[in-house]
Amino acid sequence: MSETIYRRMKDLPSTHLLGAGTAACAGCGGMQALHQIYDVFGDKTVFINAAGCMTLLSVYPFTPFSGSWLYSAMGSAPAGAQGVRDALDILLAKQRIPAEEDLSAVVLTGDGSAYGMGVSATSGAIDRNLDFLYICYDNEGYGNTGQQFSSATPHGAKTATSEGAAGYPGFKKDLFSLWVANKPAYVATVIGSEPLDLARKVEKAKQIKGPRLLLALAPCPTGWGFDPADSSAIGHLAVKTGIWPLKEYVDGRVVHNKIPRERLPVEDYLQKQQRFAHLFRPQRNEALLQEIQNRVDDYWDKVEPE
């Protein structure tokens, strides 16, 4: 698909499908992305929501979702999506509902589920070519239980369970490549601070059948340690420093949608967040800062110009 209806900011939806007044934290980057994804994808959906920050949105009998919502355990949201899809297909086959009342199965998880305990169920769903959209809001930790490290936590970040002088010793898992290795229908990275790029990818994902992933970096004021008003600015820095590549996998190839020709130093992004403060104070950890910069440079050195 080369044409898009989202050419300018004024083309974006002007009304929100997700209601206000939720329990989400102020400045939540996950909510910013979810609002935009939902507005473009539409309300003919059933959200299958794995335990995480976003399960706080619907507290019975209240819900901010315009459509249906189903709660699941952390590792089993794709299995729930299979059940929803099967039920809808049976109702359609028996003409219990007309085709125009069909709904899309949408999995909504955080990184704890998507990168970790939900991988097995996700792999199985892709193998079965399940027709579903998988949204991961990636705040790089177990956000709603106090920001313990997850498989998505970046190297060197301090979390509730990695408080040493060098922060988290592991490395962020490459979920994008993990999905691509399974050859699904569509995979894309997005971020709420880049709404046009996000809308175009949601538009594309909406028109494709099969397993599709939207992986949204979710700047987290409470877990990362920054002012909620700076959430979009942090998101812009993630893209401009090359920390968060905007890319997609479609028709069997990976395409980078925005290549930062003159990348900002990664420390411009890191020093805005309390979780990396130990890299700068009381003295700079030059070795670790350079290591993080080198990993970003190595990534982009392998990216061919489009």
User: What are the pLDDT digits (tens) for 273-283?
Assistant: 999 999 999 99
Beta pairing partners, 71: 49
User: Contact, 176 vs 122, CB < 8 A?
Assistant: no
pLDDT the model gives residue 23: 87
State both tokens at 216. Answer: 């949204």
The DSSP line for 249-300 is: EETTEEEEEE--TTPPPHHHHHTTSGGGGGGTSSS--HHHHHHHHHHHHHHH
Helix %, strand %, coil % of the chain (to 5): 40, 20, 40
pLDDT the model gives residue 3: 85
pLDDT the model gives residue 163: 87
Residue 180 burial (CB < 10 Å; 0-12/13-18/19+)?
middle
DSSP helix/strand/coil, 144: helix
pLDDT the model gives residue 20: 87
Nearest to 156 by CA among 246, 280, 264, 241: 280
Which residue ranges of the chain lie beneath pLDDT 70?
A: 1-2, 306
pLDDT the model gives residue 76: 95
Distance CA 166, CA 163 (A): 8
What are the residue ranges of helices labelled H in the chain? 29-41, 77-93, 111, 119-127, 175-181, 195-206, 231-240, 266-270, 286-301
Distance CA 293, CA 296 (A): 5
Nearest to 303 by CA among 251, 250, 263, 270: 263
**In this structure, how many other beta carbons lie within 10 angstroms of the beta carbon of residue 58?**
18
User: Contact, 180 vs 203, CB < 8 A?
Assistant: no
**In this structure, how many other beta carbons lie within 10 angstroms of the beta carbon of residue 275?**
24
pLDDT the model gives residue 1: 54
* R_g of the chain computed on alpha carbons: 19
pLDDT the model gives residue 261: 84
List of residues 6+ apart from 53 with CB closer than 8 A? 24, 25, 28, 30, 110, 137, 139, 143, 144
